[in-house]
Structure 1
Amino acid sequence: MSEFDEYIVHGEPGQKEKADAWQTAIGLQDVDGLKVSTYLLDTARQHIEGDISIDEARDRIKAYYETKSEHDAVDEEGDKASVNIVKILNEPSFAFSLVGLTSIHRRIFEGVFKFAGQLRQVELSKKEWVLGGNASVSYQPAIDLREAIEYDLSWEKEFDYSNRPMAEIIKHLSQFIADLWQIHPFREGNTRTTAVFLIKYLRSMGIPVTNDMFKEHSWYFRNALVRASYKGLNIAPTTEFVERFLRNVILGEKNELRNRDMLVGASLPTPAIQSVTEDSPKSNICSLDCTLEETAILRCIESNPKMTQKEMASTIRKSERTVKTITSSLVEKGIIVRRNGRRNGWWEIIK
C-alpha cells in the first residue's frame, strides 16, 4: 500500500482530497529523482487528519530546514516543492495565461530557487535517458520564451472542445502540453510546473483528473514529453506516449505505461526511477465516441453511481441545467440508464 492510501480508501471526503494531493505532489518529485523526508510525511499526515492547515504545514517545513544544521539538499527541495504543490492543487483558482504559468512555478519553488517564477535567460541542453543518454531536446531560445508561450496559449484558447470526439481531444491536448513543455521556460522545474498547470487546466474545464497517474508515473510523463518533442536522424516526434498517459488520466483507462517502450537507440540500463505497468482492464468509457462534457459526466458516474446531478455540476464546474441536458442526451443514446427511480436510485453505464 502506498503512502496515505488508507485515507484514499477509508478516509472522509476531505481527507481523501488532501491525501490525493499529497500523493500527487510527492510523486511528481520523482521527475528529478528527488525524495522527501520522514518529517514531511509526518507533517502531511497531520494536515490530512485536520490537525494543521496547509499554511501551517508550509511553515513547519520552512522552520525545519531553517533550524536543521545538517540536512540533504535533495530532501529540502522535494519537501518544499511538495507542500507548495499541495497548496496549489487544493485551491480552485486558475489563470490560463503566461502570468498563471509563471505564478505556478514561483509558488512551487518559493524558498527553493532564487529564480522561481522568472523566465530563464540562459540556453538549456539536457541529455535524456530515453534518448540514449547522449541527446537533448531542442528547447526554445531564451530570447523568444515570452512570445512562444503566449502564442501556444493563444492557439489553445481558440480551440473549440465542444462536440468533438475524445480521441481528437486527447490528441490535441497531448500536442498542446508537449509544445508548452518543449519551450522550457524556466531553468529548473519545468516538468513539475507543466504537470501542475495541466492538472489545473483540466479541472478548470470540468474534467475529473485521475491524479494517481502523476503520482505513479511522473517519470513516464516526462519521457513521453521528450519523445513528443525530440526530432533526430530517423526519429520523428510522436505524441503517442503522451496520448496513452492522458487516456489514463482523462478516461480512466489502464494502458500499460512502460518507460522502456519509449527508448531510442541501443539497449540501455533500466532507470532507477519509475517503470511501472498496469494490467487492470480498461475503463468502461474508454472506447465511447463522447464529447468532453459527456466523458466528464461518465467519469462522475463511474466513481459514484449514486452521485446527484447537483453534485456532478459541482464536480465538473458546470450548471445543474447543463448536467441535466448531458445526462438526458446520454440516456437517449443508450449509454446510461437510471435505476430504481429518481430519489433513491443510481446511474448505470450500460454501453
Structure 2
Amino acid sequence: MQSYNEKYDEFKYEIITETEDGKLKQIYWNIAFGLQEVDNLKPSEYMIDLAIENIHGKKSYNDVESEISAYYDKKPEINKNLNEQEADIVSVRLVQLLSDKSFRFDYNTYRIYHKYLFDGLDIGISKKYIGNFRDYNISKSEPVLNGATVAYTNHLLIKDTLEYDFNEEKCYDYLNKSTDEIISHIATFTSNIWQVHPFGEGNTRTTALFIQKYIQYLGLGEMNNEIFKDNSRYFRNALVRANFRDISKGVYEDNNYLYKFFSNLLIETNYELNEEELFITKNEVSL
C-alpha cells in the first residue's frame, strides 16, 4: 500500500527537460538552419560545431545560446558578420521553440514568437518593431513575379485582419474532414496569415514556426519536418504565388504549390517541389 507521501507525489508537476533524442535534435537543427535560407542566410561554422555538440548531448540548448551570444558580444563591431549572427541566434531560438510542446493558439503568440526569435538583432528594422506590428505599408520585389510584389495588408488593418483569420480558424471543425480537406485548409490558413505580413522583417520564419507548432498542437500526426530543411525557399515562393494576381495578364492566386508542400509535410507524398515551376514569365505580369 502506498504511503500518503507517495500518493501525494503522483500529483506533483514534473519538470520538462530537454530531449536526449539526438535524431530529433538533428531534425530541429536541420529545420532551423534550412529556414535561414528563406533570407539567404547561413549559419557560421562555429554555430554548426555547437549544434553538433548539442545533438551529441555535450551541450544544452541554453549552453549553445549562451556561448553563441558571448561569441558575438566579444567580437568588435567592425568584425561582426551580421548575417551570420542573425542566422546563428535565430537558429538556436527556433530549435528551443520547436522542441517545446507548449502552445497557445492566438495571434498574440504569433507576435511573441517574432519577438523571441529576433530580439536584440539587427534585421534591418527599428528595434521597436521587433515583436510589434508594423505601422507602415510595405512592398517587396519578388523574383518569381519578375519584380512585382504581393499586395500585403495595409498596416491599419493588421490587427483586425489577424483577429478575423484566427477566429475563423478557431471555428473550423477538423472532425470528419478528409485528408485532402485538412491539407487544403492548413495551406489556406497559412497563406492568409502570411499575406498579412504583420512584421517589418522575419515574417516567413515566424509563420513557419507558428504553423509547425500549430500542426503539432492539433495532433495531426508526425510531420516530415525535413521538408523545411531543403525546401524553405520553395515554401516562401509558394506563399508568394498563393497571394498574387494580375488579372490583366491572366495570373491568379494559385494554392497548388503550397498544397504540394503541405501534402509532403503532413502525409509524406512525393510531389516534386521544383522552384522553377513557381516563376511566371515576363510577358505574364505587368511590372
Query: Which of the five TM-score ranges fits, normalised by the shorter chain?
Result: 0.7 to 0.9
1:239 and 2:252 aligned: no
CA RMSD of aligned residues (A): 1.3
Offset of residue 266 of structure 1: 3.2
Measure, in 2, the Cα distance between the counterparts of 1:220 and 1:169.
21
Unaligned runs of 5+ in 2: 1-18
Q: 2:271 maps to which residue?
A: 255
Query: Which of 76, 84, 87 matches 1:75?
Result: 84
Offset of residue 265 of structure 1: 1.6
Measure, in 1, the Cα distance between the counterparts of 2:262 and 2:88.
27
Q: 1:66 maps to which residue?
A: 73
Q: 1:205 maps to which residue?
A: 218
What aligned pairs does 1:302-341 form with structure 2 within 5 A after superposition?
Answer: none
Q: 1:85 maps to which residue?
A: 94
Q: 1:25 maps to which residue?
A: 32
Q: 2:10 maps to which residue?
A: none
Q: 1:112 maps to which residue?
A: 121
What aligned pairs does 1:33-44 form with structure 2 within 5 A after superposition?
Answer: 33-44=40-51
1:82-141 deviations in whole A, cap 9, x for unaligned? 011001001011111011101111111122142321111111100001101x20000001
What aligned pairs does 1:146-295 form with structure 2 within 5 A after superposition?
Answer: 146-206=159-219, 207-232=221-246, 233=248, 234-266=250-282
Measure, in 2, the Cα distance between the counterparts of 1:130 and 1:195.
20
Measure, in 1, the Cα distance between the counterparts of 2:174 and 2:106.
18
- Highest relative contact order (Cα 8 Å, sep 6+), 1 or 2? 2
TM-score by structure 2 length?
0.86
Measure, in 1, the Cα distance between the counterparts of 2:275 and 2:210.
23
Query: Which of 51, 54, 61 matches 1:47?
Result: 54
Q: How many residues align?
A: 255
Unaligned runs of 5+ in 1: 1-11, 268-351
1:139 and 2:135 aligned: no
Deviant stretches of 4+, over 2 Å: none
Higher fraction of helix:
2
Q: Counterpart of 2:139 in 1: which secondary structure?
A: coil
What amino acid does structure 2 have at the position aligned with 1:208? E
Measure, in 1, the Cα distance between the counterparts of 2:206 and 2:91.
12
Measure, in 2, the Cα distance between the counterparts of 1:266 and 1:257.
22
